[in-house]
């Protein structure tokens, strides 16, 4: 991210990104079936959550195993809000973003002094505590059954209940999320975060506050994951406690590594590979977890920069 590009290659990359984005938005809407569109929207939403995790892992070196809780709690908050006040998309997103920021911010405050493995375990414990609350608080969250039956989303009087409309909304959110995260990572605060990852002692000597940076990174990441989580129940038409469980967090980390932790867009690639493998392989064989596991191990061993950077050399 810090490597200096010449102007023309930057412009080329930008053009490519825009073309890709246009393709992603248009193709499925024109040709896609209802199921394919829902699946595409799911990939985009989960991919957005993975992208927000990439900010923590790739830029900040903060390997959080509690990101599923951020995503899941925001999804629950949005689902409950929609059931109470209707499916205004602005309201749903606002609730999701706030919930995501609240959970992520809390997690950042809890882990303020922890590093490395201790950070990993503490985020895991915090996430599992969130799961316990979601799982036990049956009156609100439906407990093990989860929630279903949400009012359809609507924006400014237009009902967004067709798969194509939902898909376009998720495209918009995913693009916006990418822009927010990229801006953060490229801004001085993002560069400081990166410095904190590589040389914490020197950065502290330069007067940066580790805690301050960490909380900010978590808030941005939580806001993005929250926005993605807010739409997830409407795309999935169901939200269950598994979304908050630590295995969800681990899945997000797997996707993040599959796509490449140092590339924000890798989040979408990782989510797509994982979810495609899950749905496609599971219709052929019961051993899809084995296949995913092997693919993941192979990625870690032979392509530590992710599948998108396969063959390119770089820092692992």
Partner 1 sequence: MAYTLVQILNALSFSVLLLLTGLGLSLVLSLMNFVNLTHGSFYLLGSYIGIQWLASGAPWWLAFPVAFVLTGAVGWLLDRFPFGRFYARPHLMQVLLTYGLSVVFADLMRWGFGAETVSPVLPEVLSGVVFILDFPFPVYRLFLIASGAAIALVLWVLIDRTLWGAAIRACVVDRGIVETLGIDTRKLLTAGLVLAAALGGLGGALGAGMLSAYPGLDEEVLLLALLTVVVGGLGSFAGTVISALLLGFATTFGRMWAPEFANFLTLGIMALILIVRPTGLLGQPARQV
Q: Under the rule (CB under 8 A), what is the footprint of partner 1?
A: 57, 61, 63, 110, 113-118, 120-122, 124-126, 128-129, 132-133, 136, 200-201, 246-247, 250, 253-254, 257, 287, 289-290, 292-294, 296-297, 300-301, 304, 316
Instruction: Output the smallest distance, CB 273 to partner 1, in A.
Output: 14
What are the backbone angles phi and psi of residue 240, rounded to the nearest 5°?
-125, 165
Comparison of 44 and 253: residue with beta carbon closer to partner 1: 253
Structure letter (DSSP) for residue 309: G
Query: Cα–Cα distances in Å, from 178 out to 171, 225, 265?
Result: 10, 11, 8
Comparison of 273 and 292: residue with beta carbon closer to partner 1: 292
Q: In the chain, count of helices (H) and strands (E)?
A: 14, 4
Comparison of 86 and 200: residue with beta carbon closer to partner 1: 200
Helices assigned H by DSSP within 142-240: 163-186, 188-198, 200-205, 210-236
Instruction: Output the smallest distance, CB 251 to partner 1, in A.
Output: 10
Instruction: Output the smallest distance, CB 30 to partner 1, in A.
Output: 37
> What is the rounded CA–CA span in Å between residue 306 and residue 204?
31
Comparison of 4 and 117: residue with beta carbon closer to partner 1: 117
Comparison of 12 and 300: residue with beta carbon closer to partner 1: 300
Residue 288: burial class (beta carbons within 10 Å; 0-12, 13-18, 19+): middle
Query: Cα–Cα distances in Å, from 114 out to 8, 191, 199, 216, 229?
Result: 42, 21, 16, 16, 27
Comparison of 182 and 197: residue with beta carbon closer to partner 1: 197
Comparison of 91 and 110: residue with beta carbon closer to partner 1: 110
Instruction: Output the smallest distance, CB 153 to partner 1, in A.
Output: 33
Instruction: Output the smallest distance, CB 306 to partner 1, in A.
Output: 11
Instruction: Output the smallest distance, CB 294 to partner 1, in A.
Output: 6
Instruction: Output the smallest distance, CB 110 to partner 1, in A.
Output: 6
> What is the rounded CA–CA span in Å between residue 99 and residue 82?
14
**Among residues 238, 237, 270, 232, which one has the least CA distance to residue 251?**
270
């Amino acid at each position: 991210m810090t490597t200096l590009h010449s102007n023309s290659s930057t412009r080329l990359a930008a053009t490519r990104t825009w073309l890709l984005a246009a393709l992603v938005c248009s193709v499925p809407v024109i040709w896609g079936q209802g199921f394919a569109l829902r699946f595409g929207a799911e990939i985009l939403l989960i991919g957005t959550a993975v992208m927000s995790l990439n900010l923590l892992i790739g830029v900040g070196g903060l390997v959080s195993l509690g990101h599923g809780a951020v995503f899941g709690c925001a999804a629950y908050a949005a689902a409950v809000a929609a059931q109470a006040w209707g499916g205004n998309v602005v309201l749903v997103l606002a609730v999701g973003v706030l919930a995501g920021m609240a959970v992520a911010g809390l997690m950042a405050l809890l882990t303020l002094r922890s590093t490395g493995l201790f950070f990993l375990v503490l985020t895991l414990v915090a996430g599992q505590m969130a799961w316990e609350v979601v799982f036990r608080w049956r009156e609100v969250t439906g407990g093990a059954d989860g929630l279903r039956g949400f009012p359809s989303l609507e924006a400014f009087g237009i009902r967004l209940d067709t798969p194509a409309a939902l898909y376009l909304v998720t495209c918009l959110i995913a693009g916006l999320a990418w822009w927010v995260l990229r801006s953060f990572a490229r801004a001085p605060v993002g560069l400081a975060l990166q410095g904190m990852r590589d040389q914490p002692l020197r950065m502290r000597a330069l007067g940066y506050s580790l805690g301050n940076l960490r909380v900010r990174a978590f808030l941005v990441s939580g806001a993005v994951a929250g926005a993605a989580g807010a739409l997830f129940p409407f795309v999935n038409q169901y939200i269950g406690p598994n979304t908050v469980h630590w295995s969800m967090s681990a899945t997000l980390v797997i996707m993040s590594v599959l796509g490449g932790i140092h590339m924000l867009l890798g989040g979408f690639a990782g989510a797509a590979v994982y979810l495609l493998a899950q749905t496609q392989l599971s219709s052929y064989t019961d051993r899809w977890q084995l296949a995913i596991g092997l693919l993941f191990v192979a990625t870690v061993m032979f392509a530590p920069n992710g599948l998108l950077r396969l063959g390119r050399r770089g820092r692992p």
